[in-house]
């Protein structure tokens, strides 16, 4: 059996190579020329460091809709959410997990002088604002990698958007893999306050599995870190940012899957009774990059189990929530705390 990743050690080492607090720069993945470029539909932009992603509500038959980040973005921008919305995606060149289904090549998850460059957020926003108005997405997605290895990235982006008068026309979205407490360790109170009070921002935190085994199977991290996801999500909720969750359901063959999904929902509801309604199951797909790591057979089996788990999730939500609650716009679901 492969040893688990030492996530805490790797996180510290990656952080040292990913953020320069003196010059306010982060290490950004160069997407052009990478293996990931073959999986991208729209051409890479922003000098090779950005890409346009098309988010869609209804992408798959027989899979729950995914309204993120369109619903919170449309609410902030005061526009009608549409089926297909684009986002300008920038990727931090670091991650402390190695999810087998990651659509980013592992080579872009650990920064070096070939795969990434130091960039300031002023440069990123400037490259973004130089995209012609007709082509420029209204959403910036700070992705990765794990953006929270350099938690300064988010308040620096907010400052740059404000400085360049782009804040009111741009919605800022960021991902979090729920593995590090760096934002509380390394951000100042003023930076935390800015994140909490900035109106055009929301975050999605991803639960990488629905029990200890599926978490470890997906991430290559120790099963013990499954619990940490819930603790970190609670702490994020305390900050009162506009917070959402994804969950990935891929797993090995399982027995008692309904019980496991029910327990997972119990844990979400122990954070907040309404949290399942702000949680979106993400369907894992076989990208070209993914199929360099796993076989077709592996993918088919993972797909079979994610579908079974998703059905158990949908069934259980129907038991726990009224049809009125289930039809709420995700950005209108209120946490009870």
Q: Interface residues with ligand SF4 (CB under 6 A)?
A: 95, 97-99, 102, 104, 144-146, 177
Q: Could you tell me if 293 and 103 are in contact, meaning their C-beta atoms sit under 8 angstroms apart? A: no
Q: Outline where the chain has alpha helix (H).
A: 7-18, 70-77, 121-129, 153-163, 182-186, 189-197, 212-219, 225-238, 257-271, 296-320, 323-326
Q: Could you tell me if 145 and 108 are in contact, meaning their C-beta atoms sit under 8 angstroms apart? A: yes
Q: Of 10 and 268, which CB lies nearer to ligand SF4 in the complex structure?
A: 10
Shortest Å distance, C-beta 146 to ligand SF4: 5
Q: Whole-angstrom Cα distance, residue 47 to residue 32?
A: 8
Q: Of 55 and 76, which CB lies nearer to ligand SF4 in the complex structure?
A: 55
Q: Whole-angstrom Cα distance, residue 195 to residue 44?
A: 28
Shortest Å distance, C-beta 242 to ligand SF4: 20
Shortest Å distance, C-beta 332 to ligand SF4: 27
Q: Whole-angstrom Cα distance, residue 271 to residue 186?
A: 25
Q: Of 98 and 311, which CB lies nearer to ligand SF4 in the complex structure?
A: 98
Shortest Å distance, C-beta 153 to ligand SF4: 14
Shortest Å distance, C-beta 157 to ligand SF4: 18
Q: Of 262 and 306, which CB lies nearer to ligand SF4 in the complex structure?
A: 306
Q: Whole-angstrom Cα distance, residue 43 to residue 227?
A: 39
Q: Whole-angstrom Cα distance, residue 45 to residue 30?
A: 10
Shortest Å distance, C-beta 95 to ligand SF4: 3
* Nearest CA-CA partner of 94 in 17, 208, 184: 17
Residue 41 CB: number of other CB atoms within 10 A? 8
Q: Of 95 and 150, which CB lies nearer to ligand SF4 in the complex structure?
A: 95
Shortest Å distance, C-beta 94 to ligand SF4: 9
Q: Of 75 and 208, which CB lies nearer to ligand SF4 in the complex structure?
A: 208
Q: Could you tell me if 274 and 335 are in contact, meaning their C-beta atoms sit under 8 angstroms apart? A: yes
How would you list the strands of the sheet with 25-29, edge to edge? 19-20, 25-29, 116-120
Q: Of 111 and 144, which CB lies nearer to ligand SF4 in the complex structure?
A: 144
């Amino acid at each position: 059996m492969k040893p688990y990743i030492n996530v805490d050690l790797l996180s510290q080492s990656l952080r040292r190579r990913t953020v320069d607090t003196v010059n306010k720069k982060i290490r950004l993945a160069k997407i052009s020329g990478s293996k990931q470029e073959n999986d991208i539909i729209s051409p890479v932009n922003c000098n090779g460091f950005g890409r346009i992603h098309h988010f869609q509500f209804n992408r798959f038959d027989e899979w729950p809709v995914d309204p993120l980040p369109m619903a919170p973005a449309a609410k902030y921008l005061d526009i009608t959410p549409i089926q297909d919305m684009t986002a300008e995606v920038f990727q931090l060149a670091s991650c402390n997990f190695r999810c087998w289904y990651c659509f980013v090549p592992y080579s872009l998850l650990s920064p070096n002088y070939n795969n990434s460059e130091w960039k300031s957020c002023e440069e990123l926003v400037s490259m973004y604002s130089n995209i012609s108005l007709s082509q420029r997405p209204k959403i910036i997605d700070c992705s990765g990698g794990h953006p929270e290895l350099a938690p300064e990235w988010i308040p620096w982006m907010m400052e740059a958007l404000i400085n360049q008068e782009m804040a009111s026309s741009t919605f800022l979205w960021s991902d979090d893999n729920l593995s590090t407490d760096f934002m509380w360790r390394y951000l100042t109170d003023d930076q935390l306050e800015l994140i909490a009070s900035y109106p055009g921002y929301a975050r999605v935190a991803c639960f990488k599995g629905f029990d200890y085994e599926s978490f470890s199977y997906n991430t290559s991290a120790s099963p013990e870190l499954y619990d940490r996801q819930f603790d970190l999500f609670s702490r994020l909720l305390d900050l009162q940012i506009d917070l959402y969750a994804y969950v990935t359901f891929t797993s090995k063959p399982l027995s008692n899957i309904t019980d496991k999904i029910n327990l997972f929902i119990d844990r979400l509801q122990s954070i907040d009774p309404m949290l399942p309604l702000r949680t979106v199951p993400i369907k894992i797909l076989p990208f070209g990059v993914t199929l360099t790591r796993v076989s077709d057979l592996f993918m088919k089996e993972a797909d079979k189990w994610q579908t079974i788990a998703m059905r158990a999730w949908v069934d259980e939500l129907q038991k726990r929530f009224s049809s009125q609650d289930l039809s709420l716009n995700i950005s209108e679901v209120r946490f009870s705390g």
